[in-house]
Amino acid sequence: METNDRIKYALEHTELVRAPQQHLATFGSSVIDYYVVTELVGNVSVVRDGKVIAERPKIVTPAYLVNVEGFSEQAKKYIAMMARERPYESGVFYRYKNEPKGMNVVSEPMGQVIGKLSSQIEEGQNPLSTIIKGVEELWDVSLLMFIYELTTRSVGPNVAEFSRRGFLDMDAGGVPQGARDYIEELFEQASRNLSRAPELVMELNRWGLFPEYQDRFFALFRRK
């Protein structure tokens, strides 16, 4: 089976058995405990568990994303095109980190394993716990499909909350108010701990704002 066909098969046979009971946090990070259950053979199941850490959603524009690392060359070309056409159109950017815990092979059918996991989650009362029924060879594709769907469900509420608080409003320089507020938070954190300074300068450069803030930035070091 060709790679694209295998991925399509995995997506078609992925099922979100237990969805998180709430969307991703708007003003903080979210930690999702996940269980991906797959069938190895017959009545033998595999359970992989871990955490997906969703960083605090960031208000961005295409012009900002041009300076963010981690995109493929094709994606960068698309972002650059969007930055030329709609440089000040604000949106929300999500970034995730997967922290796998372990893998267990269980001599039980999938349905029975899923039932036990559901009871375990009910007892733990974590509203962001989830169970995913996936495909063994491409279990990580099943996990990515879940992350995509969780992001899709969270965008609306997150954007609505940002908008309600005025964080999507643009200033004369095309920078959303939420981005200015985040920069202020980083300045406050860096004033207490200079190890946060690299993150601050990176954020300023992504917005093209370092010249505007450079005197204030260098003043952080003069105070120490």
Do residues 147 and 182 both lie within one domain? no
Strand segments, DSSP code E, in 107-170 are 130-133
The two tokens of residue 161 are 């909350």
Are 44 and 115 part of one and the same domain?
yes
Count CB neighbours of 145 within 10 A.
19
- The verdict on residue 72 lying in a domain is no
At residue 103, the 3 state secondary structure works out as: strand
Model-level pTM? 0.79
Is residue 212 in some structural domain? Answer: yes
- Count of domains in the chain? 2
Structural domain includes residue 127: yes
Q: 99 is in which domain, residue-wise?
A: 3-57+94-164
- The predicted structure's pLDDT at residue 164: 95
Whether residue 50 lies inside any domain: the answer is yes
Per-residue pLDDT of the chain (224 residues; tens, 9 = 90+): 566 788 888 888 899 999 998 899 999 999 999 999 999 888 899 999 999 999 999 999 988 888 887 766 777 787 788 888 887 788 899 999 999 999 999 999 999 999 999 998 988 778 889 999 999 988 988 999 899 899 999 999 999 999 999 999 999 888 999 999 999 999 999 999 999 999 999 999 999 999 999 999 999 998 65
| Any domain includes 77 | no
Of 21, 10, 11, 8, nearest in space to 131 by CA: 21
Q: Are residues 156 and 181 in the same domain?
A: no
Whole-number Å distance between alpha carbons of 122 and 218: 51
Paired strand residues for 79: none
